Amino acid sequence: MPTSSATVLIPNAYSRAPNSTNTFAVGFNFRVPTGVDYTLEGGNFLGSFVSGRNEIVLKLYSDSSGLPDRVIESWDLLDVLTFNIAVVPFQSVLHPTLNGGKQYWLIANMADSASLALWWGPKPADPGLLAESHNGSPFTVSALPRGAFEIDGSSPKHEGAAPVRWDIVSMVFNTLPPNTVKAGGVAEARTIDNFRLKLTGSGTFVSPAGRNGTSGAATGGGTWRLYSPNDVPVANGTYEVTDVLSWQFAGFFTPGVLDDNIGPGGASGNAVPRIEYSDGTRGVLFVACHGPGGPAEISEGVAATKGYMTSIGFSLLYPASTETARVSTLDK
């Protein structure tokens, strides 16, 4: 977690002393990925101690109308801050469920009204919302960079193995939204010297517990066609999936944004099936799906290897408005 200059002071924070005359609490918002409920495991924040009693209180709040509402869990952390900037962990005891798509707040205050600590922020700044409460007054919210913190959770809905489907799909851009996703599309990936590999395909596999990892229970395949840089057909055939080297689940699609003809459970994520081509070569297929509400870091499209040949077809590099990829969890 990178550090920068201090973004928030926590002076004269909320005091348990009945005669406190000046209290202060501050914190930041975060939102759970859409479509997935998580069990809170804990988290951490970036802080340092300045003066007074080294005791900081963290509280996790639910949200109501864009403001901190109800305390879900709290942590009284004694002598955990240092004078140097450091990551301060905390662990959940209650393990509450954090609902997908919902906003929550992590709020900090010093246990002693005469004490002072710093909550540090990342660099570059992380835009978000800052909530403040002075002297026990209702929280006010401002659009300001967030302090650095992480919330860790596990998905209670996905503790066991889960079936997953991947598709190379056709995207139909309708005159009026929503756009339509259909199975049976064609994806194109290119080598650095402009050989083109056109692929169709779909398949299924069993995701391990936690929806991430490898899988040997894999089926599926498709067709391939290789073209020279001059667009001359070179070879073609079929391929079969042998296993899945990696599967990284990144949240379900935001509901209602797409007309998904494949079925429910559309999800963002990356699947990497290992494949065998009909001409005897082997390789891997990288299926990347950045669906509605998916993390910005995920690309959209496919990449593939065929023997030593490497071809890349992510839409950020080779835009193709009718070609994309999709993954879905079949147990939603």
Residues 249-282 have pLDDT tens digits of 888 888 788 888 887 778 888 889 999 999 999 9
Which range among 18-22, 40-44, 235-239, 313-317 shows the weakest confidence by mean pLDDT?
Answer: 18-22
Residue 142: exposure state from Cβ atoms within 10 A (0-12, 13-18, ≥19): exposed
**Which tokens go with 312?**
């890349």
Task: Please say whether the beta carbons of 169 and 185 come within 8 A.
Answer: yes
* Rounded-to-integer distance, Cα 330 and Cα 262, Å: 11
pLDDT tens digits for range 70-101: 999 999 999 999 999 889 999 999 989 898 88
Q: What is the mean pLDDT of the chain?
A: 80
Average of per-residue pLDDT across 130-142: 89
CATH architecture of 6-154: Sandwich (2.60)
Q: HEC string of the chain?
A: CCCCCEEEECCCCCCCCCCCCCCEEEEEEEECCCCCCEEEEEEEEEEEEEECCCEEEEEEEEEECCEEEEEEEEEEEECCCCCCCEEEEEECCCCCEECCCCEEEEEEEECCCCCEEEEECCCCCCEEEEEEEECCCCCEEEEEECCCEEEEEECHHHCCCEEEEEEEEEEECCCCCCEEEEECCCEEEECCCCCEEEECCEEEEEECHHHEEEECCEEEEEEEEEECCCCCEEEEEEEEEEEEEEEEEEEECCCCCEEECCCCCEEEEEEEEEEEECCCCEEEEEEEECCCCCCCCCCCEEEEEECCEEEEEECCCCCCCCEEEEEEECCC
The full set of domain ranges for the chain reads: 6-154, 158-329
Q: Count other Cβ atoms within 10 Å, centred on residue 34.
A: 19
Task: Please say whether the beta carbons of 26 and 131 come within 8 A.
Answer: yes
In this prediction, residue 277 carries a pLDDT of: 96
pLDDT tens digits for range 27-66: 999 998 876 778 898 999 988 998 889 999 999 999 999 9
Task: Please say whether the beta carbons of 124 and 148 come within 8 A.
Answer: no
2 closest CA partner among 130, 168, 120: 120
pLDDT bucket at 317, cuts 50 / 70 / 90:
very low
pLDDT tens digits for range 200-246: 999 988 876 545 555 667 899 999 999 999 999 999 999 999 988 88
- Does pLDDT of 19 surpass 60? no
pLDDT bucket at 198, cuts 50 / 70 / 90:
very high
